[in-house]
Structure 1
Amino acid sequence: MSSTKARSETIQNHFKYRNFLVFPTNGLSMLSLALCCSIASISLIFYSAFSNQSLSFNFLNHKIDANCFNPGKVDGFEKTNISHILFGIGGSVNLWNKRIHYIELWWKPSITRGFVWFDHKPFSNMTWTETLPQYKVSKDTSRFNYTCWYGSRSAIRMARIVKETFELGLENIRWFVMGDDDTVFFTDNLVTVLAKYNHNQMYYIGANSESVEQDMEHSYATAYGGAGFAISYPLAVELVRILDGCINRYHEFYGSDSKIQGCLSEIGVPLTKELGFHQMDIRGLPYGLLAAHPVAPLVSLHHLDDVLPIFPSQTRMESLKRLISGYEVDPGRTLQHSFCYDLRRNWSVSVSWGYTVMLYPSLVTAKKLETAFQTFQTWGSRHGGPFTFNTRTVSSDPCEIPLVYLLDRVESVGGDETLTTYNRYLPWWNNQGECRHCDCTPALAVEFFNVSASKFSPDLWNKAPRRQCCEIINGSDGVNSMVQVQIRDCMHFESVTPP
């Protein structure tokens, strides 16, 4: 009983003490409260002054613009769409007439938002139509240092495009996407990629160069600017505050993208890599690279003036229009890779949707089928590698050399299905040898491929990535000039495994 009584008195005293602090009822209590508050305030001042002086003064001296970051301007419950993206495109007046056709391929008036930033005011004889983005002229950059002996001072202007675009103060922006005037964006897929990420967090999204020599020179931590990169609004708020100082600190860096990455390293935000951004730091024929596209949506292509046409039998612009014709029907499936076997005829079929089909007159392992043919060289030295992905040379064995078919047309069937047709093309590796280990005759008789597939749901990119499967519909022992292939989801326990 005595212990219970003591515990009760202790609890009562505790509440009396709490009431003394919170609800003083007499003059003595008020005096005690004032004394306690004074001592606490003086202690806090001394603690702040001596324990974290630099932090205190930085906070006092840094002016925060209340309009700089206002999450209330964006409906956080609305799914990211194209209207939430603001493009900053680095352009040159002298090259505009040559590059304008690339922008016309992907820019959608009244839908896409952004500006082309020129080095000076356009010439009076330059035409400007409503089908193009508006232009702006970059500010003078003569006050900045630039000491890269093999580079161009234009890198400073290009680096500041993200700052000048941000300072326009446009509302309802979640992402700033930078690119060049010869970058071709696949905007539906860009939206799909960015929608995966929380735009209220600080993100820096893009991809490296394909050539190792470029990444070693300019950093694996950099999102290469020609491929395009995305910066979320909160990160842009931080970046523009320090960007001009960074440009001078990293005066020896070659490109604008390297300078941007240097600034972001100071903020502490690393690169989030998305494999659908393509810098295209290669020379030669890009066929092998695109025919073995990774399991990721196609977001961008760059350096298209510096590689051979995507479709070898057409011009560069004709090739891009052909590729885009498939993309417009089924954006998410474009260049997606599937392969399957015809066990009756011992064939391997590799489909890169909307681009090409390869037919092997033998059973080839999945590991080989997913590896890109090296139809290109490195960007700078023009050597055979290394690259940031695996490649394989074209075999001298006719049984391992594929017959190549290129996209001819794309059709929508019944709203939710597509039918693509691919015609036979004779590449430089055209089989002239004798098939000693396999029977090439039935394969050589195939002139066309018809590939059917359901339209690719963007939501599939929110799941764990997996290459879709396919099957040959009209497999037989006879000779057919046309082969039908169906692309579909893989079944449980299904794999591309030779017997």
Structure 2
Amino acid sequence: MNHTRLESCHESPLKVYKFCFVPEKLGDMVILLIRFGILVCLVASISLALHSAFSKPDRWFPLPEHIRAVQNTSVIDNRPTNISHLQFGIAGSANTWHGRSNYTKLWWDPNTTRGYVWLDKKPKILHSDILVPPYQISRGWTRFKHVHSASAVRIARIVYESFKLGLPNVRWFVMGDDDTVFFTENLVTVLGKYDHNEMYYIGGNSESVEQDVMHSYNMAFGGGGFAISYALAAQLAKIMDGCLSRYFYFYGSDQRVWACIHEIGVPLTRENGFHQFDIRGNPYGFLAAHPLVPLVSLHHLDQLSPFFPNQTQLHSMKKLISAYHIDPARIVQQSICYDHKRRWSISISWGYTIQIYTKLLIAADLQMPLQTFQTWRSWKDGPFIFNTRPMSSDPCQQPARFFLDQATKVGKSGSITIYKRHEGKEAKCNREGTNNEEVQRIRVSALKLDPEYWKNVPLSLSLPLSPHTHACTYN
């Protein structure tokens, strides 16, 4: 029988392929399969050993990017929110970063702050200064359709690209421009009120109604900065690119981010310490009557008059921040005093300015900003999202203004600030009983304001014109 089968194999080559290697017994087939399996396992083991020796572990079994990012940030940290839990994404460009980085230097601390400035290309002038954040080059943004500006698409994707980096232990992604100045201790205080494990979108509107109408009242304006909780960023990263394709006709980057967050169903949580500063002219009136909220950010600084007279804007900011470092929670917070004997009303914006009116004014008027500025787009006298009062042309109705001259820390919990009278070009008041020129310098002593104070202020009172101010005494 065996001889016959061999002969048939030789006679028909086609039958050789089909029958010659078929064993006669089932046991032979089992043995052959076992040997073949051992050979496959041996080859696979050798291949895996060689692959692991010459490749990174995270490439063995690649995961989707958003899942990998979640794994990188899964460190358990039960501490209260602090600056290390924030990741900043600063929108910049290679052409402007070298000049505008001077504003970032005012608040960036390489020992505590984390994040990057995102540029469109490698800058021609490389910073060796550690006082500015490192840079990243935005990727993949040129493939998106747009009507107005390609850079708006790039800047909108900073949220996505920041999340994709997978930095550990991030609770909040904070976006801003390269000319945004953050007051980071106050920013931490504000974000510390919210649970980063929930989906939050926190920021502020434009000061000019025309801007809010054009874009949206429900949008956080990007120049003033906004914060996205980790939980929201994780969801946003999943839909970001598809969403940007749907809103290709939008104008700005912040409007695109808002539209994508709106699709997820998360509303804007307004915090009025984020200042887009969509105003023109002199911001003095606003800063002299700042709302009862911690100062979180300032923007559009080069489009505004310097905060302090006879100084550049950069030097003005350095002076303001010198007071901020002494008492972060108190900076530009308003206190109102009355000298009933001389019938004076005194308004103090701590760390910035003091106004003396030679008449008694109700607190509601003093809390209303003098209109020393105009709207952003049309350069008109309003409307704004807060009430203003006109600056009188009568010098006797105008306040005497004093600006911060010195700020000194006293002990562990106190400060002394000195304000010097400013003599502008305005006409002087010669009316009897209204002269206060004998006052040239004012000295203010204060205890350091506990940041926990802001947690006790009801959210309903955190309005541009809060009816509450800090009390003060006058001697």
TMscore range, shorter length: 0.7 to 0.9
- Structure 2 residue 336 is matched with structure 1 residue 339: yes
Per the TM alignment, residue 140 of structure 1 is displaced from its structure 2 partner at its CA by 3.2
- Structure 2 residue 81 is matched with structure 1 residue 80: yes
Per the TM alignment, residue 74 of structure 1 is displaced from its structure 2 partner at its CA by 4.3
Gaps of 5+ in 1: 1-61, 474-499
* Cα deviation code 1:3-59 (max 9, x no counterpart): xxxxxxxxxxxxxxxxxxxxxxxxxxxxxxxxxxxxxxxxxxxxxxxxxxxxxxxxx
Residue of 200, 205, 209 corresponding to 2:206 = 209
Amino acid at match of 2:451: P
Change (3 A) 1:201 1:209: same
Residue matched to 1:27: none
Change (3 A) 1:134 1:63: closer
- Structure 2 residue 96 is matched with structure 1 residue 91: no
* Cα deviation code 1:446-499 (max 9, x no counterpart): 1011111100100001002542101112xxxxxxxxxxxxxxxxxxxxxxxxxx
Q: Distance in 1 between matches of 2:195 and 2:71?
A: 16
Q: Distance in 1 between matches of 2:73 and 2:157?
A: 26
Kept in 1, the 8 Å contact 2:338–2:344? The answer is: yes
Amino acid at match of 1:405: F
Q: Distance in 2 between matches of 1:195 and 1:427?
A: 42
Residue matched to 1:456: 449
Change (3 A) 1:95 1:64: closer
Residue of 258, 262, 282 corresponding to 2:259 = 262
- Structure 2 residue 405 is matched with structure 1 residue 411: no
Q: Distance in 2 between matches of 1:67 and 1:161?
A: 18
Q: Distance in 1 between matches of 2:412 and 2:434?
A: 38
* Cα deviation code 1:196-227 (max 9, x no counterpart): 11111110000001111111111011101111
Kept in 2, the 8 Å contact 1:74–1:173? The answer is: no
Segments of 4+ moved more than 6 angstroms: none
Residue matched to 1:46: none
Q: Distance in 2 between matches of 1:189 and 1:65?
A: 30
Matches within 5 A, 1:33-72: 66-69=67-70
Kept in 2, the 8 Å contact 1:340–1:471? The answer is: yes
Q: Distance in 2 between matches of 1:70 and 1:77?
A: 17
Residue of 207, 219, 227 corresponding to 2:216 = 219
Report SS of the residue matched to 1:305.
helix
- Scaled by the length of structure 2, the TM-score of the pair is 0.82
Per the TM alignment, residue 65 of structure 1 is displaced from its structure 2 partner at its CA by 5.5
Residue matched to 1:140: 140
Answer 1 or 2: higher relative contact order, Cα 8 Å, separation at least 6: 2
Kept in 2, the 8 Å contact 1:205–1:272? The answer is: yes
- Scaled by the length of structure 1, the TM-score of the pair is 0.78
Report SS of the residue matched to 1:87.
strand
Kept in 2, the 8 Å contact 1:178–1:225? The answer is: yes
Amino acid at match of 1:459: E
Q: Distance in 2 between matches of 1:295 and 1:351?
A: 13
Matches within 5 A, 1:27-426: 66-69=67-70, 73-123=74-124, 125-148=125-148, 152-426=149-423
Change (3 A) 1:169 1:72: closer
Per the TM alignment, residue 340 of structure 1 is displaced from its structure 2 partner at its CA by 1.3
Change (3 A) 1:250 1:272: same
% identical equivalent positions: 52
Per the TM alignment, residue 399 of structure 1 is displaced from its structure 2 partner at its CA by 4.1
Per the TM alignment, residue 251 of structure 1 is displaced from its structure 2 partner at its CA by 1.1
Q: Distance in 1 between matches of 2:244 and 2:295?
A: 31
Q: Distance in 1 between matches of 2:371 and 2:342?
A: 27
Per the TM alignment, residue 367 of structure 1 is displaced from its structure 2 partner at its CA by 1.1
Residue matched to 2:471: 469
Kept in 2, the 8 Å contact 1:407–1:422? The answer is: yes
Q: Distance in 2 between matches of 1:207 and 1:400?
A: 33
Kept in 2, the 8 Å contact 1:69–1:234? The answer is: no
Per the TM alignment, residue 153 of structure 1 is displaced from its structure 2 partner at its CA by 1.4
Q: Which has the larger radius of gyration?
A: 2
Amino acid at match of 1:450: R
Amino acid at match of 1:135: Y
Q: Distance in 2 between matches of 1:106 and 1:246?
A: 33
Per the TM alignment, residue 68 of structure 1 is displaced from its structure 2 partner at its CA by 4.4
Amino acid at match of 1:462: K
Per the TM alignment, residue 297 of structure 1 is displaced from its structure 2 partner at its CA by 0.5
Kept in 2, the 8 Å contact 1:401–1:431? The answer is: no
